[in-house]
Structure 1
Amino acid sequence: MRRPIVGIIGNHHLINDSYEIHGGGRMNSEAVSQVTGAVPLIIPSDPAIVSVAELMDTCDGFLFTGGRPNVHPEEYGETPTPAHGDFDRNRDRIALPLIQACVAAGQPILGVCRGFQEVAVAMGSTLHPEIRELPGRMNHRMPPDGTIEEKFALRHTVTFTEGGPFHRLMGAREVMTNTLHGQGIKQPGARFVIDGHAPDGTHEAAYVADAPGFTLAVQWHPEYRAAEDPVSRPLFAAFGDAVRAWAARKAPQSVRQIA
């Protein structure tokens, strides 16, 4: 039996300031292959190249990854400012409708960092452009210097809702995570259910209410050492279970069914 296919939403990059590519981090591909048990397929995020319908027909699930550009604030009804940073409008035009279509169909999705924010915006949420400037918040951004190990080091706890899907999945109400983001959720949409918080109140884990399929999203980066990390591994493994169920055309796994 073939492995299911997980589409990894790619990011636009310029090599040597001139050569355009759609790329994906090796950590994401390794997590999908090694822990989810699926074939990782990097998606060119451009509606001139691929359509939502084609992607859903080709892939069994989708990983919405982190990325330097942010979701454009027009997508949640606000005016862009310098604080909002860089944008990738083509990724917005693929990722947001793809999330909405997958949620409606029950096709599994997993959101990570920017992907967490994409799921939030697709479900009607708004974003803060720079949460470290809010009273009482810590700096969640990636350290500017140091090794990869230092940048992805565990930096704060995340506390999950008692009895919620993340508590059931992790077997613990509190876990340690890394943190490498500047933006955060301002106002969650009606169906975007916050299921975990950092000590400063920043929203860190969520799912889509009443979705017929797997719709978990996290603000941290679980792809780092996913095969050995005790928090990352169950997250990608549960995603894999949902993807295989979809590939076999079984009933999609609801977040409420996570043991």
Structure 2
Amino acid sequence: MARPIIGIISNHHVIHETYEVQATGLINISAVADVAEGVPMMIPSEPGSVRVSDLLEHCAGFVFTGGRANVHPEEYGEDPTEAHGDFDRNRDAITLPLIRACVERGQPILGICRGFQEVNVAMGGSLYPEIRDLPGRDNHRMPPEGTLEEKFALRHDVTFSENGVFHQLMGRQSVPTNTLHGQGIKHPGPRVVVDGHAPDGTAEAIYIDGAPGFTLSVQWHPEWNAKCDPVSRPLFEAFGAACRDWADGGRARPVLRSA
């Protein structure tokens, strides 16, 4: 069987202040190719160039990547403020309807960082503009200085619900993760199950209740060192297996269910 095509949502960048591009990190591509065992296909976040219906037809599953721009707060009924940071309305226009369509169809999705937040917003949830400003919360942002290894270093544990989806998948109830985000879940969407938390209570792992297919999403960055990391590898392997099932006749593989 041919490897499934897995769409990787890309982000808008400007090179040398003049040349606009859509790009994704090589670590996203490697995680999809080497661990999920799929054919990585970059999806430009340009609604004038791609249609959700075409993406659903050509890809077996989708990785909703991290990105510096945030989901626009109007998407969850709030006004933008300076604390909300930069936005990418073109990406919102692609990802939010694509997530809802995949959930309904049972087509696999994996949300990472901004992608994790997109899944919550697409399913009716809201976001905090800045986690570190909340009483009792830690600073989850990327360290401003250091090498990539230092920026993506393991910084806190995530604890999963006992016998929940992530606990079953990882074989452990608590795992160490990196953390490189500013925003986070405020109110989970009606079907969004928060299955893992950081020590300060920040939501870190979710899935969609009652969805027929794979809908796991995480706030950290499992694409970093995905081939060797004992937490990242099972996540991408399970996602890849779900994508192969979908490519093999549109068979939805549900996430593990709580015991």
2:217 aligned with 1:213: no
Partner amino acid, structure 2, of 1:49:
S
Measure, in 2, the Cα distance between the counterparts of 1:219 and 1:195. Answer: 12
2:66 aligned with 1:50: no
Measure, in 1, the Cα distance between the counterparts of 2:85 and 2:250. Answer: 41
Q: Which residue of 2 aligns with 1:249?
A: 249
Partner amino acid, structure 2, of 1:131:
I
Q: CA deviation at 1:244?
A: 0.3
Measure, in 2, the Cα distance between the counterparts of 1:116 and 1:61. Answer: 15
SS in 2 for 1:244: helix
2:237 aligned with 1:237: yes
Stretches (4+) displaced over 6 A: none
Q: CA deviation at 1:256?
A: 2.8
Measure, in 2, the Cα distance between the counterparts of 1:167 and 1:147. Answer: 31
Q: Conserved in 2, the CA contact under 8 Å of 1:169 and 1:258?
A: no
Q: Conserved in 2, the CA contact under 8 Å of 1:160 and 1:195?
A: yes
List runs of 5+ in structure 1 lacking aligned partners. Answer: none
Q: Conserved in 1, the CA contact under 8 Å of 2:164 and 2:258?
A: no
Q: Conserved in 2, the CA contact under 8 Å of 1:72 and 1:88?
A: yes
Alpha-carbon displacement from aligned partner over 1:41-64 (angstroms, at most 9, x marks no partner):
000111100000000101000000
Partner amino acid, structure 1, of 2:92:
D
2:29 aligned with 1:29: yes
Q: Conserved in 2, the CA contact under 8 Å of 1:154 and 1:177?
A: yes
Partner amino acid, structure 1, of 2:152:
F
SS in 1 for 2:70: coil
How high is the TM-score relative to the length of structure 1? 0.98
SS in 1 for 2:216: strand
Q: CA deviation at 1:257?
A: 5.6
Measure, in 2, the Cα distance between the counterparts of 1:226 and 1:250. Answer: 26
How high is the TM-score relative to the length of structure 2? 0.98
Partner amino acid, structure 1, of 2:69:
P
Q: CA deviation at 1:249?
A: 1.6
Instruction: Name the count of aligned residue pairs.
Output: 259
Measure, in 1, the Cα distance between the counterparts of 2:54 and 2:257. Answer: 28
2:84 aligned with 1:84: yes
Question: Could you say if the C-alpha distance between residues 157 and 50 of structure 1 is closer, same or farther in structure 2, counting changes exceeding 3 Å?
Answer: same
Identity %: 66
Q: Conserved in 1, the CA contact under 8 Å of 2:164 and 2:257?
A: no
Match runs of 1:197-212 below 5 Å: 197-212=197-212
